[in-house]
Amino acid sequence: MQLDNDRSGEAELIRLLLKRQSELNSLLEVTRAINKNTATPVLIQMLEVILQNYLQIGRFRFLIQQDDSFACISKYGGVIEPVSALHRACISFKKIKVPTPVSSHSNSVLKQYDYFIPIYHKSKAIAFALIGNFNTSAEMVSNDLTFIQTLINVILVALENKKLFKERLQSERFQREMELAVEVQNMLVPVRIHKDKGVEIDARYLPHQNIGGDYFDFIRLNEHEFLWCIADVSGKGISAALLMANFQASLHAWATVENDLINIVERLNKIVLNNTKGERFITLFIAKYDEKTRLLNYINAGHNPSILYSKGEAVQLKLGTTMLGVFEELPFINQGEIDIDPESLLFNYTDGLMDYEYQGVKSWNEDKLLKFLLQHGEQSPDHFNQNLLDHIKVVTKGKAIDDITLLTLRIF
């Protein structure tokens, strides 16, 4: 009798050792797959094969947290329930941290299974598993449940590492994109300070983030003519910077061969539309000045109106057309033409100058900008720009919410 008991104990020990060996082999196989960066669907398939073939589990549901909800990433056996029903059933065990029998539970979903298995990270539940049709001995059930929990934990760690790696790659890609965009943006700013016998220029560019969508330019066409522009492209990032780079190249190309501003703007509109397919647009103020005739021609394409200050008066330059890149053919173009007196100041800006976060009543608008022009229009361009920025800080007491670009010219 004792001999039979001894042999039975030896057989049970051998079976347990073989089972443990199989468990270790399964974990080793999964770990090797993880180290080879095996795709997520393959890891889930490996999990299901181990549960079905090795542990003889006939029904399985595996839910993991994604953002503020849960997703079922593995399911087999029985009638497949809606994820919402599984989630509602599992969250009733939100404080349970160990595998728990559920076959006698009152919940209609839970009682279809044998065990509920929670997976925690620190004090937060990050995954749930339900197993059913689970045929194991009373002696082995604790061991099997611990193994299942361990196996799921290993795969969850792998999935989390994949997610973190992907996020890091995306972050590095975004950072590189921003670096490229900044490089492109810097190439788009050919002049910040310029002075010759006919004009003095000062420009300030204050991007809201590392890279903005503003652009300005000054082109000396010949000994007695020059052209300038200020523009704002919708959107940010490398795509906006590349669009502006293309826009700048097109402007320089056409400005040197085309005398008519209307023709230049029409061509630029088609170029923007062809490049963006209507998904982006550009606002633009462009002007051309002849020092011999003292005649200024300009077109305002949906941009904030530039302001001409001369002899104690400030005039907004509003004539023009719609923003570029919206219509295949611009619906109208009205070219402005104005004589410029000596010592006139021309102030150009983007809409970021007017956009601030206010804690109380809005304290900055176009009327107050015009008033500032009237009070400070005799200053040099660099002093004017600096005083304006200092003034806005005092008046708004808020944060800028967009890029700010100032381009100020004094025409002698």
Residue length, the chain? Answer: 412
In CATH, what class is 2-167?
alpha beta
- Other C-beta atoms closer than 10 Å to the C-beta of 60 total 23
The predicted pLDDT at position 219 comes to 92
Report the pLDDT value the prediction gives residue 59, as an integer from 0 to 100: 94
Whose tokens are 């890279």? That residue is: 211
Contacts of 219 (CB under 8 A, 6+ apart): 226, 227, 228, 251, 252, 255, 256
Position 101: which residue type? P
In this prediction, the residues of the chain whose per-residue pLDDT falls under 70 are: 1-19, 177-191, 209-212, 237, 358-360, 398
* Domain spans of the chain, in order of start: 2-167, 188-411
Q: What is the pLDDT of residue 378?
A: 95
Q: Specify whether the CB–CB gap between 64 and 126 falls below 8 A.
A: yes
**pLDDT (tens digit per residue) in 140-188:** 788 889 888 888 888 888 888 888 878 787 877 777 766 666 666 666 6
The pLDDT of residue 90 = 84
| CB proximity list for 158: less than 8 A, separation 6 or greater | 34, 43
Q: For residue 293, what pLDDT is reported?
A: 97
Same fold, 2-167 and 188-411: no
pLDDT in tens, 323-364: 999 999 999 999 999 999 999 999 999 998 988 876 667 778
- CATH level 3 topology of 188-411: Phosphatase 2c; domain 1 (3.60.40)
Question: Cα dist. 205→213, 329, 348, 352 in Å?
Answer: 11, 31, 12, 11
Sign of the CA dihedral with 43 first, then 47, 49, and 50 last = positive
Structural contact between residues 133 and 77, judged by C-beta atoms closer than 8 angstroms: yes
Name the one residue in this structure whose structure tokens are 């008991």: 5
Q: What is the pLDDT at residue 360?
A: 64
Structure tokens given for 39: 């795709």
Which residues, in sequence order, are bridge partners of residue 233? 282
